[in-house]
Structure 1
C-alpha cells in the first residue's frame, strides 16, 4: 500500500481538481482499451474505439501497458490547461528523461523501433508522439469529453460538500473506498508498498473517468504530487456528445418525448424511473417504452415487482449516431 505523509502545510496546499485532466484520461483510457475490466462502464466505448482507432494512434499502446509502469512524461505533473497545451509540454520532455523513463518501461515491455528512437529524442519520433496523441484524443476522448466533464464536476460538487465546516480532513476521508485518512497519513490500498512524503508541496487530487478500481500516481516522488482516483459513475454514463448535440437530431428522428425516453433508458431503468426522468405520467412512460420496444430499440424484462428497460444494440447505435460531434 501507498502511505502519503502530510504536514500542516500540505493540508493547506491540497487541491481538488474541478475538471478531468485530458492527458491522464488519454493514458488511463489506453489502459482500459487493452483489458476487459469494467465492461458495464467502458464496454461500449471500448468496442467503438477498438473498431475505429486510427492506425497512427495505436503506437501509443507501446507506451501504456495496462498493468505496471507507464512513463510519467505522458502526464506532466504541473499541467492544468488544455489538451493541446499538455501535448506541447509532453513534447518538450528532455532527451535524458525520455531515455530514463523508456528504459524503465522496457523492463516489462520490450522496446519497439519507434520507442527506441523516442528514447534518443529523435525529432521525427517526438513529432510522431504528438501526432499519435492528437489522433487518439480526437477518436477516443473528444467525442465523450462533455460527458466526462459532467461526471467529474458532479464528483467535485459531492466532495466539496464534505468540506463545508469540516476542512480538508473530512475531504481526505471521503476520496475513495481504497483510501483511508488517519492524520497525518493518507493510505491507499492496491498500490506498491511505499511512502511518499509531501514535504510542504501539497497534493493535487485528480478525479478521473478512466481510472478503474484503484487510485494511481506518478512514479517519481520528486515530481509535484498528484493522486488520481476513480469517480463514481452510473452504468453506461459515458456517452458521446453533449445532451444538446444528441437531443436535436434524435428529437427530429423520433419526436421530443420519445427521444427523451430513449436517452433516459440508456443506463437502464424501470417504467417508474422512466416516468420520473422524462416528467411524464406512468401510463405515458409505459406507452413510450412500448413504441421503442416495437421498433427494436429497447428490451423489457421483469425485475421483481417492476419491469426493466434496456437499450438493444440498435438502440445504442441510434443514440450514439445522433451523438456524433457536430461540424
Structure 2
C-alpha cells in the first residue's frame, strides 16, 4: 500500500495531466509484454505490436535491452520516466532529452538500485556514458513509434474521458471529491490517499502537490517514482471495457450487459480476478461478487483463491455459451 499524505497546500496544487506522458506509456506498455494479467484489454494491441516489432527487427532489442531496463517489478530507474520541470508531460522529445542529460551520478545510483533489487545485465553500467544513453533513447523512440504512437487516438480518447470525469468530481466535491473518484485502486481518507501498490511506503508531499497521470497501458496497480525527493507523480490505470461487450449480442440480451461482460473478461487468459472484472464492467467489487455468484450458480463460472485474489474462470458450459454467442453474432453480420 502507498499512502500519499496531503496538506492544504498539496490539495491546492494537485493537477491532472493534460496529455498522455509518452515515457510512462512506454514503460507501462513494456510491462504488458511481461504478464498475462489484463491481456484481454490489450489483445488487439498485443497482436498488432508483436507482429510490427518482428517485422521491423525490433523484437530482439526490446527483449534484450528495454525489458531488462523496464522490468515489471517493484523498481525500475526513475530517470527513464523524467518528472523534472520542462519535460514532465511535455512529450516524447523532451523526455528523451532529459534521459540523455541525467547527471552521471544519478544514473549510476539508480542502475545500481536496479541491479540490487531486481537484477540487471552487466551492459547497463555503460549507460553512465551519455553516448550510450543516446543510443538507448534511439531504441526507445523506435519502440514508441511502433507500440505507442499508432494507438495515440485511443490513448487520448481514454485520457479525455477520465479528465472529464475528474472535472465533474471537482465541480461537485472540490479536489477532495476528485481524489475520492480516482478509481477502485485508490481510496481517499482525508488527508491520505491510499493507493494499491507493489510495496508498503508513505509519501509526504510537503506542499509540492502531485501530478496525476491517467494511463492507457497501466494495468491494475498504480506506479510512482521511487525517489521521494523527485517531483511527486502518480501514474494510474484507466478503465478498459471489452470491445465484444456490446448491447446487440444474444448473450447480452439473455444475461444483461454486466453479466455478459463478466463472462467475457473471465474468458481471457487464465481467468480474471474480482478487481479486474470490476474495472472492465465499471462496477464495484461487491457488485462483481453478486454477479459472479449468479453465474456460478448457473454453472457458467468457477472461483478459486490464488494468494490474496479470487480468480474466476469459465466452466465448459460457460465456454460453450460464449462460442455459441460468437457464432450467432458473426452470422448476423
TM-score, length-scaled by structure 1:
0.72
How many residue pairs match? The answer is 252
Deviation at 1:51, TM superposition (A): 3.0
**Residues 204-229 of structure 1: per-residue CA shift (max 9 Å, x gap):** 11100111111110000000001111
Asked if the contact 1:114/1:125 (under 8 Å) is kept, the reply is no
Asked if 1:73 is matched to 2:79, the reply is yes
Deviation at 1:308, TM superposition (A): 4.4
Asked if 1:230 is matched to 2:207, the reply is no
**Residues 32-81 of structure 1: per-residue CA shift (max 9 Å, x gap):** 11211112111222233233321444411110111221110111113121
Q: Equivalent residue of 2:142, what SS?
A: helix
Deviation at 1:272, TM superposition (A): 7.3
Asked if the contact 2:158/2:238 (under 8 Å) is kept, the reply is yes
**Aligned match of 2:112:** 103
Listed as ranges, the gaps of 5+ residues in structure 2 are: 251-321
**Aligned match of 1:128:** 135
Q: Equivalent residue of 2:214, what SS?
A: strand
Asked if the contact 1:268/1:309 (under 8 Å) is kept, the reply is no
**Residues 271-293 of structure 1: per-residue CA shift (max 9 Å, x gap):** 379xxxxxxxxxxxxxxxxxxxx
Q: Equivalent residue of 1:104, what SS?
A: helix
Distance 1:63 1:182, change over 3 A: same
Asked if the contact 2:77/2:110 (under 8 Å) is kept, the reply is yes
Asked if 1:148 is matched to 2:125, the reply is no
Q: Give me the whole-angstrom Cα distance separating, in 1, the residues matched to 2:188 and 2:26.
A: 29
TM-score, length-scaled by structure 2:
0.70
Q: Give me the whole-angstrom Cα distance separating, in 2, the residues matched to 1:36 and 1:231.
A: 18
Asked if 1:114 is matched to 2:91, the reply is no
Deviation at 1:300, TM superposition (A): 8.1
**Aligned match of 1:194:** 201
CA RMSD of aligned residues (A): 2.4
**Aligned match of 1:32:** 32
Q: Equivalent residue of 2:50, what SS?
A: helix
Asked if the contact 1:17/1:206 (under 8 Å) is kept, the reply is yes
Q: Who wins on radius of gyration, i.e. which is larger? A: 1
**Residues 241-288 of structure 1: per-residue CA shift (max 9 Å, x gap):** xxxxxxxxxxxxxxxxxxxxxxxxxx4524379xxxxxxxxxxxxxxx
Q: Give me the whole-angstrom Cα distance separating, in 2, the residues matched to 1:166 and 1:76.
A: 31
Listed as ranges, the gaps of 5+ residues in structure 1 are: 237-266, 274-298, 316-327
Q: Equivalent residue of 2:148, what SS?
A: helix
Q: Equivalent residue of 1:220, what SS?
A: coil
Q: Equivalent residue of 2:173, what SS?
A: coil
